[in-house]
Structures are given as structure tokens and as C-alpha cells.
Chain A
Amino acid sequence: MSDTQVPETTKADWTSDQEPRWCPGCGDYGILTAVQMLMPTLGVRRENTVFISGIGCAARFPYYMDTYGMHSIHGRAPAVSTGLAVARPDLDVWVIGGDGDMLSIGGNHLIHALRRNVNLNILLFNNQIYGLTKGQYSPTSEPGKVTKSTPVGSIDEPFNPISLALGAEASFVARTHDMDRKHMQAMFARAHAHKGTSLVEIYQNCNVFNDGAFAQITKRDKRDAMLINLVHGEPIRFGVDNERGVAMDSSGRIELVDVVDVGVENLLVHDETADDPSVAFAISRLATAPTMPTPVGVFRAVERTEYAAAVSDQVDAVTASQGAGTLEGLFASRPTWTVS
């Protein structure tokens, strides 16, 4: 918007005057704080920042940011945001939604935003439950889950959001969790820096309807053993003593191994920039539930044409070749005849 230096801001500048209305103890508070504290470090202006959400608990998020914001309708935030980003490529657009919002009613918009690669930062708050409607199973709930709408257990196969995003041609895919502010901020900063659609899945605890869904991997004393931290260019290792790792066997299958059994040199080296997403996809399949060692970090970060910029390029190219449109020119573009 202007050439002058971006003014220094603090968390308070990014905090609106509206009081958050999430349940006490909700994981959303931690995510909100992480974002509000991160924004002053990104070198961006409040007036050029927009948060857009759909419907659900997470979707109240924009009201608490002192930026431009829209609380839209269920599932449509990626579509609303696509229109805004295409119309206004100068803006930073953040998209906020939960697993029901983004993966169920809005699943179609999510995958199409990812394949188009519009410059959006999508934060997917995954708590594996419907919170705002008071506790029905979601498209990420585990099979067998007993909820109000599944009194004898869910028979639905859940989505793995990371696998889904990779299958939808996503150029940036990461996972983090609401118990680790630093890790969240690192992932959000990477997502913001990425040109294109960035998807960050956040394991978020719903302490009312699905409390402890991620406790087996995100509790401070469990993390070393249960979170597989993906670091670009490094062998994939985890464990209290870094004693475990990820390796690819001779058939190309990816598995968890004891480092001592295979040797460090035979561990899989993480390459988030790999053209082919199949290794990232295989890594995303290591854990089928957040009760097993689970990869977190950036799964994939590749450069691909950003959609809104491409739209602008076409507008500019056609304008350059045809000249800026005039109504006189428009009216002369069809065969005409004159009556005198």
C-alpha cells in the first residue's frame, strides 16, 4: 500500500476489542495467542491483512484479530478467500476453519484452493469433533468413535488431512499442535512466507467434547517419543534419545526403525522440496491415529505458479497487447451497420 516502513507493532495492536467466547481451556486460545504474537514479527501491515473463516468454533477467530476480517458461511471460507485474493493480490489472506468446516461441508473448496495454489494461508484446526453443534463425529474422527450421532460407534473412515492435501496438489503442507507455541509460530511463519496455498493442520484440543484426543503425542513428556519432527535435509529421527527413525525398505515402503538396526546413513533424509509428493505422502501415512508416533513439521514446500499472480499477469498481458479497454472499442468489436 505504501513505500514507507512498516510500523512497529505489538501483540496488542493485533488484538481486537472483542472478548473471545471459546470455552475455558479450549486449544483455540493457544492458537490465537500464537498468531497475535507472530504478526508483529512478519513485517506486515494490519490494514493489508485479512482473516476469513467459515462456521464453527474456530471460525470466530477473525473477530479477535484487529485486522480486516470476515466470518462467512459454513465451509466456504476457502472460496470467499479465493475471490478476495484473486481480486486483491496485494493482501495477506489467512483462512481459518475446523475439520468439519474445511473437510466436510467445505471439502470441495479446500481441495480446489490447494490445486489452484492461490496465495492463502489456511489454518486447519483439527479437533476430530464437531464442537459448535455440541459433539457429533467429524470427518477426522477415529472409527468406532461414540458420539451423540454415533451412539454405537462411528463406521466412517476418517480423512488424513495431510494425505488429502498432498493428493490435491498442495504446494505447502505442514502439521503442528496447539501445545507448542514456538512450533506453531514457526509453521505459520513458513506458511506466510510461501507463495501459494499453504495448509497447516493444527492438532487442537476440544476439552469439552473430545478432551485429550492428542494427549498421547502432544503432552510435554510424550513429545520426544511420539512426535516425529521433520527437518528439511536431515535424517528423520525421533525418540527420547533420538534412537528411532524413518527408513525406506528395498520395496520403497516407509517404516519406523530403530536407528541401531539400520544405521544413521540408511535413514530417510527429509526433502520437503521434492517434486514428487509420494515420499511426503508415505510419511503422512506413518500414523493412522494420534496415538502412534506422528510426523509434525513441513511435509512439502515446493514452488509452483501462484494463481492470483497468474491472473494478474494475464490481465496485464492482454491489456498490453490490446490496450486498455474502451467502450468505443468494445462497441466496434462486432459487425455494425449505419442507418443514416
Chain B
Amino acid sequence: MLYLGWSERVTSNWVLWQRSQAHASGLLILEGTNVTDTASAPSDTSSLDHIIIRFAGDSGDGMQLTGDRFTNASAMFGNDLATMPDFPAEIRAPAGTLAGVSAFQVQISDHDITTPGDSPSILIAMNPAALASELHRLDLGGTIIANEDTFDERNLAKAGYPINVNPLEDGSLDNYTLIKVPMTSITKEACAPLGVKPRDADRSKNFFALGLVSWMYSRPTDTTLDWIKAKFAKNEQVVAANTAAFKAGHAFGETAELSGHKVEIKPAALEPGNYTNIDGNTALSWGLVAATKLSGIPMFLGSYPITPASDILHELSSKKHFGIRTLQAEDEIAAVASAVGAAFGGHIGVTTTSGPGIALKGEAMGLALSLELPLVVINIQRGGPSTGLPTKTEASDLMMAMYGRHGESPMPIVASYSPAQCFDAAIEAVRIALKYRTPVMLLSDGYLANGTEPWKLPDPASLPPIDVEFATAPNAKNDEGEDVFWPYLRDPETLARPWAIPGTPGLEHRVGGIEKQDGTGNISYDPDNHAHMVQIRDDKVSVIADDIPLTMVDGPDDADLLVLGWGSTWGAITSGRRRAEMAGYKVAHAHLTHLNPFPKDLGDVLRRYPKVVVPEMNLGQLSKLVRAEYLVDAQAVSKVKGQPFTAGEIYDVIVGALQ
């Protein structure tokens, strides 16, 4: 197994090329100087094809909201974009400390992009801790916009700077463009005429930053101003303060002081249609809503709050007008158990959680498997083991999804690969659960859950219906020749058993987790019957391979290398492969949306290429599975840092594998 540590920031040729382009565009003409001291900067607006911005501040500074608003304005403007929130698990770590830094990265571009970008070229640092913790990510020569009001002795000390060291003053940032802005004091000044107390005005400084950045990147302002009005409608003074701060930031940019930094990123040439900027958890929730509509089967969600899955519970709780019933259960076990009960009653049983919750749900998943009832178990993966990294991403629950139940207990596994694609993945998970009467595991992760991208809204009429029927009549005869109902008499093609729900006269029957005779469903300890049932449950998953797409492959058939991925690595692998292709490498990318069963042609695909590497946010779980299944020398490339792969890292993996 090849294990690459990423302790050193990757500086690929691509990044260097980007920098040269940026220089050529005039963005960095003030590199190494302090802009507030420079009155004679050029005033023309330069144009870039993309930009990566990282907003960073204290947990209480509203950085997630600032990033989110900037993203929204960019979406409305028509850019392609991808975002990645990156925040600590603590709601409010001690103010001003490194532990409390909350960041939000966004890439906006005039063309199709698949990741929030490798390293930002702009860092907005609201305090010394944000600068100290995030500077290492910034491109050399990138731009720092720092709220200089916060760089006082106390905050500098909290951020770990030695006494009498201020990075804004000591020349240590000479390799960057440093823009010092007294954000707090200007915000307070702007709010003073409104009668806002200075302490309250302090809370609006993130809108100053937003206004400033909105000006620099020629973002439309109406979207943000309208949003402020609507969001804070209950408190006029807050609307006034935030509006004043936003306008002050915008005006600050517009005054001579920052001209030369105005950059334009033209709208991307996206396919015609209606778009929204959507995060993975919302898209996944909407997929579930669509699935209940498309199947006509009501939905029940049993869930226990857990990061980063809770937003699905929130979203579905607000969809009662779709007939969706939600239960915030007393624990993870009750959450899944209640969903099994609802499935017995003729609902689509759904439960949402993250890794620790999956560990608790294992026995009830086995029950659903034994009862052969439709259940969708959704795992928004996070760093583990144990509590691990609740707010950071990882994709290390694949083996648990495959094997994490006692006995031979196979479950189909669907994995989403981008925030918007979570919509399709959720529909697919429900489709398989309903058609094959089986629990299905849907894997997403923290990066997909909170990251966003533009999504072209589908035409509801174009979504394929999900056909499912309840049993209504007896299906067998007993020894006396009377009509009876056998709950385990299977459809010969799907191997699914009939779904007879309470309320249906004449089909009264009992099911249970104890082994049962195939057909009648009566308790059976017969050795041959058990062997038969174990095999049937395995076959039930295998036959799904005829009902799912072939492996998705991007790149030439005669490539020298195949990069095999699953889940959220799709964006980074796609971008990394494009870069490698531009640099002259012949490389293909296969991405799995179904992990159990695998697509029928996966073995052929893997054998088609001389080399296979598998980048994964774990220690090589998919690579182990494909090595075992297909006897191919698939090399694992691991990253387990709570952060997604960057395109640059994938590029380096490709180049490394081909050298």
C-alpha cells in the first residue's frame, strides 16, 4: 500500500502556472506592499477565470454566514462555484484562540469546476488567530485582508504570537499582498449615527468584510441587502447596522485605497436552466422528498441529532406537507427501530446519522435485513473512531457499511459523489430499498453535507417513477387447499418478498428476526433452510447488479493509469485528472456510485489499465475490497486529516504513479 502524507503543501506545476496567470492579470502587482500606504494603484478592473477565497475568523465572527452570503451572490451572478465550510466542533471555543477559528472556503469561476479549490489566493483574517491558523493554506503571493483593529497585544498573545510581535508590522508577510483594514472601527463609525451601541456594532463587522469582498469581486449587492432585510426583519436596528456595515465595506473598497484590486469573474457557461446553490444535506433531503413523491409511498424518518447529519432531520421536519412524518427518537437505536416499525406499516423507513450512530444501529439493520423490509440508512461520515472529528470529513465507514453487522448480512450500498448529486443518490437508495425490500446504506460525508455547488433543478416530470405495490391477496394454498398468505414467497426476478401491510384483510402474518422458513416465514431451525436463506439474502444483493449503471469512466481506454474513486473524492479526482491530461498524461478516472453490489463491468474496467490507484479518505478500504474481489493490484492512496483531497494532491498522485 502506498501511503502519502500531506504534511507539506503541494506546489504543483499547475499552482505555479496559476500564479503566473495571476501575475499576468495584474492581480498581484502590489505583492509585498501594504496597500493602505499606496495611493497610486492602477484603477482598472482585471478579469480572472477563477478565484479561491477563504474567510476566517473567530467562531463568533459569523464567517460561515459571510461565506454563505458571498457564495449566494456569486451563484446569482452566474458563476460556477464550490464551497467548503471548515469549523470546529465547539459551539464557541474561547474567543480569539486558535481552537476557535472558523473558516469557509469558496471557489468561484467562469467555467465548470468540481472542488472548492486547493489553496486560496485570498485570505480574509478577522483576527490574529485566523491569520495564524490559516496562513499556511494561502498561495505564496496571495492576498491577506486583515482586520487590523483586532491585532492588539491580547489577541496576538491568544493566537500564540510572541510578545511584541505583530505579523502585520514586522515584515513577515512580505511575500503576500497585505491589506490592513480597520474593520471594527469603521463599522462602529458607520453604525454610530443609527444609535447602535458600539458593542452591538462590533457584531456587524462581518458584513463590512462581506461588503469589501463583494466590491473587490464585482458581486451584485442587491441579493445580500435583500437577504439582510428578510433575515433580520424582526429587528430593524440589526437590519440597519448590518446594511450600514455592508455599505461601508463596499464603499471602502470603492475609495481610492483599494483600486487595483477589483477583479471580475465572468459568469460560467452553464447549461440553460434554473439553478440553485445547494449543499449535500439539503440535496439529499430533497431526494428523499422526491422519492416519496415518485413512489407514492409515505415516508417516515426516525433520527437522533448528530453532526454532520442533523440538517437532514431539520429539513425533513419542515416537509410535513409532503406527508413526511419525523420522529426525533430517544437514541440512535430507537431511531432505526422506529423506521423499521414504520416500514412494516407500509412507509419508506429512513434513519439518518453519522458513524457513531451506525455503530449503534447495527442490530436493527440486521433485523430489517431479516424481515426484508425497505429501510434507508443514511451515514454522513465523519472522522473516527469514537467521537473522532465530528465536524471534519472522512470516508472511513465503507467496511462498516459492507460488514458492520453480525452474521452474513449484506446490504446494498449507494454513495453520493458531489453535493448536488446527493439528490440522485437518495432517490436511488430509496428505489433499491423499495424494489428489493431491503435495507440500503447511503453514504455521504461531512464535506458533501456542508459543501455547496450550483445545481440545475430537474424537471419533476423527467424524474422516473418508482413502482411498488403492496400485496393484496393470498399467494399460496395450505395442506387443506385453503388460500393462505406466505410472507416469504419471492419474486423470482428480484427475490423480493411481498409487502403486505397491516390493515389488509386476509394477509395477517408474523415476521421476526429469528430464522424463518423460506416461503411460509414460519420459524425454522432446519440446517438446510438456514444455508438457503443465507444464500438468498446474498443473492438478493447480487441481482441488483443487473439494475444499476455500468462503471462511470472518464478518460481514454488506453490510459496508462486508472484512478478509482468513490464518494466525495470525485471533485478532486476530476480536477486532478484534467490537470494531468493538460500536462500530457494519459489517465482515466472511474467513480463508483454503487459499492454493493459493484457494477457488473468493474472487474473488466480495472483490468483494462496497467495501473490502478485508489485515493480514499481512509486507509484503503475500497482498495482492499477490489483487490479481494477482482485480484487486481489496486494501490491505496490515503488521506485521513479531516480534510478532503485537493486537486493538486490528486495530480501529484497521478504523476507519482506514472513516474
Contacts and interface: CB of A to CB of B under 8 A. Distances in A.
A340 B330 contact: no
A71 B512 contact: yes
B475 interface: no
Nearest to A14: B508
A82 B275 contact: no
Interface string A157-197: 00000000000000000000000000000000000000000
A334 B300 contact: no
B340 interface: yes
Contacts of A80: 337-338, 340-341, 344
A48 B367 contact: no
Nearest to B367: A73
B457 to A, nearest CB: 5
B113 to A, nearest CB: 15
A325 interface: yes
A65 B509 CA distance: 9
Nearest to A314: B320
Contact of B338 (A73, A79, A88, A91): A79
Given A82-B327, A108-B334, A331-B460, A336 B503 contact: no
28 contacts: A18-B522, A18-B523, A47-B507, A49-B502, A62-B512, A70-B511, A71-B514, A79-B341, A80-B344, A83-B302, A83-B349, A87-B325, A87-B341, A87-B346, A88-B502, A108-B334, A109-B337, A112-B330, A315-B325, A324-B322, A325-B293, A331-B457, A331-B460, A335-B276, A335-B277, A336-B275, A336-B276, A339-B270
B342 interface: yes
B420 to A, nearest CB: 12
B9 interface: no
B484 to A, nearest CB: 9
Interface string B318-334: 01111101010111011
A113 to B, nearest CB: 9
A72 B460 contact: no
A338 interface: yes
A331 B322 CA distance: 13
A47 B334 contact: no
Contacts of A324: 321-322
A323 B321 contact: yes
Given A68-B508, A84-B342, A337 B78 contact: yes
A69 B320 contact: no
Contacts of A50: 344, 502
B505 interface: yes
A240 interface: no
B209 interface: no
A337 B275 contact: yes
A76 B334 CA distance: 7
A86 B300 CA distance: 9
Contact of B320 (A48, A73, A74, A318): A318
A327 B293 CA distance: 8
A283 B189 CA distance: 69
Given A83-B337, A108-B331, A325-B322, A63 B523 contact: yes
B454 to A, nearest CB: 8
Contacts of A322: 321
B603 interface: no
Given A68-B508, A83-B327, A339 B271 contact: yes
Interface of B: 72, 75-76, 78, 223, 267, 270-278, 282, 286, 289-290, 293, 298, 300, 302, 319-323, 325, 327, 329-331, 333-334, 337-342, 344-347, 349, 363-364, 366-367, 371, 457-458, 460, 463, 502-514, 522-523
B510 A336 contact: no
A74 B293 CA distance: 34
Given A45-B505, A83-B349, A112-B334, A325 B341 contact: no
Contacts of B345: 83-84, 87-88, 91
Contacts of A109: 330, 333-334, 337
Interface in A49-100: 49-50, 52, 62-63, 65-74, 76, 79-88, 90-91
A261 interface: no
A68 B506 CA distance: 10
A78 to B, nearest CB: 8
Which of B75, B277, B457 is most buried by chain A, counting CB atoms within 10 A of its CB? B457
Contacts of A315: 320-321, 323, 325
A8 interface: no
Nearest to B285: A330
Contact of A86 (B322, B327, B502): B327
